[in-house]
Structures are given as structure tokens and as C-alpha cells.
Chains A and B, each alone.
Chain A
Amino acid sequence: MSDPYGDRGNKDVSIANPKGMGSEIPQRSGQTRPAPGGPFLIGENMTAGYGNGPDILHDCTIAVDQGEIAVIVGPNGAGKSTGMKAVFGMLDMRQGHVKLDGEDITDLSPQARVAKGMGFVPQTSNIFTSMTVEENLEMGAFIRTDDFGDTMAQVYDLFPILKEKRLQAAGELSGGQRQQVAVGRALMTQPKVLMLDEPTAGVSPIVMDELFDRIIEVARTGIPILMVEQNARQALEIADKGYVLVQGANAYTGTGKELLADPEVRKSFLGG
């Protein structure tokens, strides 16, 4: 049967405005339970999928500990982005748990997870295009009730170009600058853990190197980073921990160096 809440192909934008519409977020109870031990952030044995669709993740585990950079790599359609969304509570978790800082947060809504200290930069539509750079950062700090002026100054120190363009609409910036806005927005909450979904997608190699440098800089300030990357080799070089996902399941896990040295991983994912 067709989707009863769909638009049956209607493209009439004069009466409906689908642009920027959100995705379906499962309703959750909002309860947390203490779950001491284990890494700082872990999505454990996750089996998940979108809506009523099939499972995309199969018993998948990804984790990051204090002071680490963890990188998720894998072929297209391996479920890397889906894994990140599952950790952030944006899709239907059928099995498994998400734990943050000794607490089981599986039943929290995404916005409650933000309040708990998680920051997430999605792969696409990760900035408010119609708002200025400064307003984007302000929205990042939305949950903060204290003065966030110094955090904004830190973000401007990290990404000086943003300070220059702070009164410009974020949608008018170049690809690399947009990614900086996106990361800056996520940093504004002063997150305890930062999740980046392909921060270097669609930017030139030079900009990519610069973004990697900035990410390492952020990690040095003590924020653990969980990151999905297309450029597997470069990403694993900076990773403390690496996950190779294949078809929604863990294929290889190890430190970045171990994975780079693993002949199987090299053959399948790093091009020899």
C-alpha cells in the first residue's frame, strides 16, 4: 500500500513548503539508567533501521574514549552515517544500547542528548543557510543559558575566516567554509563528545588537510571525537581507534595503525 502520509508526487510548492522538513524521529520515553564502566561514548550491539524499513545496522558497536579520535571507515552503503545517527537517537533502535559517561541514554530524544553534552555535525544540511554565520553559532549555543561570548571567540580563533564573514548568510559561503561553520556550531554547546559525519565531504584536498588539522586541534583540547571519513587512509593515520564497517556490521576493529598495517584492510579498503 502507498504511504498514507505521503504527497503522491505532488510538486506544487505554492501551497506546501517541504524544504528543510525534518526526518521522522522515533518517540522515546526520555528515561536514563546508570550504566557504569566502559568507554566514554559507546553504541553497543546496535541493530537499527529507518521507520518500518529493514535493519541497516546489525549488531554494530562503535565507541570513543576520553582524549581519543575514533574513525569509522567502510565502503559506500556500509551504514557509517546510519551508525552515527543511531548513536544520536535519530532512528529506530531495535536492539542495543547507547551509553554516555556511565549512563544508558538509549531512551533519550536527540535534543536531550545535546543537553547531555553530545555534539553532532551531520553530513549534509549541517548549517542554517538563511541565517548569518554568527546566528548559526548562536543557535549552536541555544541550550546554554550562560554567556557564550568566550566560546564564540574560541570558535573564531579556531576558524578565523568565520570571524571575517560573521555577518554573511552561511548559505553564501564556500564548501570548506560551510563545514567550518558546521563544526563551529557544534562546538558552541561546549560538547563533551563531538561526532562528525564526513566533515571533509566535497571540499578540495588543500581545504581537507586544513580541516583535518583543525579537528586534531579540537581533539587536543580534550574533546573526544567520533568521526566518519571517506578518506580512509588519511583518517586512520590520525585515529586512535578505527572501525571498519561492512554491510552494517563491524568487520575490523583496532587502533588506526593496526588497521593501516592489516593486509586484509589494506587490500579491501585502502587500495593495496
Chain B
Amino acid sequence: MDLLNAIVAFLNYVFVPGVAYGSQLALGALGVTLVYGILRFSNFAHGDTMALGAMATVLVTWLFQSWGISLGPLPTALLALPFGIAFAILLLLGTDRAVYKFYRVKKAKPVILVIVSLGITFIYNGVTRFIIGADDQNFFDGQRFIISAREFKRATGLDEGLSFKTTQGITIVTAIIVVILLFWFLNKTRAGKSMRAYSDNEDLALLSGINPERVVMITWMIVATLATIAGVLYGLDKSFKPFTYFQLLLPIFASAIVGGLGNPVGAIAGGFVIAFSEVTITYAWKKILVYLMPESLEPSGLVQLLSTDYKFAVSFVILLIVLLFKPTGLFKGQAV
């Protein structure tokens, strides 16, 4: 019984939140890794792209809620998501046309584009706050839990409850669908292969008749889609607050680099590595240990390695370790 309680507590406090957070990071890291692989720079504006895409979704969600449109048990935000994605696509294509294209035509070195993207970050950041403000916004509706802790306790008779939030379920299912679609697109379709060809060798892609501007356009569209989905899922699961998306940049880049920048499989693996490291290191293990250890050995402290306030330190340290000892990441990335 104690063992079962320990397992349930582990699932409830570590595993389920870890998988959901990992899926969100993986989606974010996929966007970063695509820009790095195909457009060849680290896009620091990715976090704020997520914020803007999510913001558009929040606004449309409120509009739908005011009209009384809803999806029943599912959050209305899912209905508003396509509008958010469309907004983010227009935003990124517009930014590309106005800013990045200037440097691309001149074949500016990637490091210049990194700094340019940092400038874009601040502009996006300001626009988000200007439109929706810097505060927390709630846009979740529908049924809160798929499995609630109380029902679970009643059904199983265990002391520990397992809760599975609707948002966690949606996050995981959406992430799986998006990843399958993305890999199918990159490996099986003509457009996807042309993106890989462009990433491999721009000049030769040109000599094969691949239009570079088209590749860049498709890339931004996919990146906008991934960023908005990741942003909305994170906002639904936690809450929508513009500044948290800027902060998410660190774990997202850590995920992409741990997995190997430019490698989509790596981005997904990296997302889960970072998410589980963060959750396990900042979780107070006392609850689980109490079930597992004999009474005499029960820990008196919380057995929490780091306070949750320091969760970003976890990604930062992992990032440092990877860059010091295995800069190509777990899966071979393009950064050698």
C-alpha cells in the first residue's frame, strides 16, 4: 500500500507535470531548432513570438466567450488557436520582410542576425504589454480535470490522489500530433525536403531550382505555428503572463542545445530532459520518501534540492555542462 501511494504521489507531483512541461518545452525547442538549422541563427525572439501568438489567442478566446461560443468540456482557446496561429504567421512573415530579409540578401553573418533577433524581442515584448498588459490573464474555461484527486482517492481507496488536468491531457496529445505532422512534413514532402536541402547547402539548393525565399517563408510559417501552440498550451496549463515567455527562452534554448541544435529529434528529447531535471530537482521528495522509508529513517527536512524560485538555474547549469563537455548535444546537432 505504501509503495502504491509512493508511486501515485510520484506520478501526481513529478511525472505528469514533467511530461506536460516537457511537451511544452519540446514544442518551443522545435521552433528554435528549425530557425537555427534553416535560417542559421539563434532566434532570441522565439519566447516573445510565443507570447504574441498566445496573446492573439487569448483575445479571440475572450471574444468567443463573450459571444457564448464554447467547446463544452474543452477550453474555448482550442477554437481560437487557429486565429492565433494566423496572427503569428502574419507577424513573423511581416518581420521577415521588414527586418530579416535586409540582412539575408546581404548574406550578413548569423551572429548579426542573433543580435537583430534580440532587438525584435524587445519590440515584441513591448507590443505584447502595450496590447494586453503585463499582468496575469485567465482564459481557461471548460472542465478542469480529466481525473481529479478526490475521485481518484474514492475510486482506489489510496491516501494519495492522482489528478490529471484537462490542460495536461491536451498538451500531451497536441504535442504528439504536432511532432508526428512535423516529422512527416520534413521527411516525406517535397517542401520539407527542400527545407532540409536548403539547410544543408544553400548554394546547391539554388542550383537545384529551389527558391530560397519560399523555403524561408515556409520555415517562418511552421515556426509561428509551433510557437503559438507552445505558448497557448503553456498559458492554459499555467497562466498567461507576458514576462514568463521571455523567461521560458532559457529552458527552451537549453532543451534545443542539450538535444543538439538543428536536430528536431534532439529538441524533443532535450525538452523532456530539461523538464524532468527541473521538476525532480525542485520537488520536495519528503512525501514520497515517507512512504518508502522505515519510520526511523524518515527525513526531517523537505528533501528539496533547490527552491522552485531557482528552477531556471537548473536549465542554466545543464546548458553549461552540455556546452563544456558535449557541445553537439545528445543527438548530433549541426553545431560542431
Q: Which residues of A contact B (CB under 8 A)?
A: 5-7, 10, 12-25, 27, 88, 90, 110-111, 114-115, 120, 122, 125-131, 135, 138-140, 142-143, 185-186, 189
Contacts and interface: CB of A to CB of B under 8 A. Distances in A.
Given A13-B335, A14-B327, A5 B200 contact: no
* Chain B: number of interface residues, binned into ranges: 35 or more
Interface stretch (B101-109, B153-161, B226-234): B101-109
Interface string B99-123: 0000101111111111000000000
A22 B106 CA distance: 11
Contacts of B196: 128, 130-131, 135
Given A10-B109, A20-B202, A130-B199, 6 more contacts: A16-B109, A20-B199, A21-B110, A127-B204, A128-B197, A189-B208
A127 B261 CA distance: 22
Given A17-B262, A111-B211, A5 B103 contact: yes
Contacts of A120: 207
Contacts of B205: 22, 128, 139
B107 A5 contact: yes
Nearest to B203: A22
Given A13-B327, A139-B194, A139-B208, A20 B42 contact: no
Contacts of B206: 22, 25, 110-111
B40 A17 contact: yes
Nearest to A23: B203
Contacts of A125: 201, 203-204
Contacts of A12: 111
B109 A5 contact: yes
B162 to A, nearest CB: 40
B193 interface: yes
B184 to A, nearest CB: 15
Contacts of A18: 40, 109-110
B334 interface: yes
A126 B204 contact: yes
6 shortest A-B CB distances, which residue pairs?
Answer: A22-B202, A16-B110, A7-B109, A5-B108, A143-B209, A114-B209
Nearest to A5: B108
Given A7-B111, A10-B109, A111-B206, A15 B197 contact: no
A20 B200 contact: yes
Contacts of A142: 190, 194, 197, 208-210
Interface hub of B107, B194, B201, B261 (most chain A Cβ within 10 A): B201
B210 A10 contact: no
A16 B42 contact: yes
Interface of B: 36-37, 40-42, 103, 105-114, 190, 193-194, 196-197, 199-212, 257, 261-262, 323, 327, 334-336
A141 to B, nearest CB: 8
Contacts of A139: 193-194, 197, 205, 208, 210
Given A5-B109, A142-B194, A111 B202 contact: no
29 contacts: A5-B107, A10-B109, A13-B327, A13-B336, A14-B335, A16-B41, A16-B109, A17-B37, A17-B335, A19-B336, A22-B202, A22-B203, A22-B206, A23-B203, A24-B107, A88-B207, A111-B207, A127-B204, A130-B196, A131-B193, A131-B197, A131-B200, A138-B193, A139-B208, A140-B208, A142-B190, A185-B208, A186-B207, A189-B208
B207 A114 contact: yes
A58 to B, nearest CB: 25
A15 B196 CA distance: 19
Contacts of B197: 128, 131, 135, 139, 142
A110 B207 contact: yes
Contacts of B335: 13-14, 17
Nearest to A188: B208
A186 B209 CA distance: 11
Nearest to A170: B200
Nearest to A182: B204
A20 B257 CA distance: 19
Contacts of B257: 14
A6 B41 contact: no
B111 A15 contact: yes
Nearest to B257: A14
A181 B334 CA distance: 22
Nearest to A125: B201
A265 B49 CA distance: 63
Interface centre among A7, A111, A140 (most CB of B within 10 A): A111
A114 B109 CA distance: 27
Given A13-B335, A135-B193, A139-B193, A20 B208 contact: no
Contacts of B323: 14
Nearest to A128: B200
Given A17-B41, A20-B199, A142-B190, A10 B111 contact: yes
A126 B23 CA distance: 38
B210 to A, nearest CB: 5
Contacts of A25: 206
B288 to A, nearest CB: 36
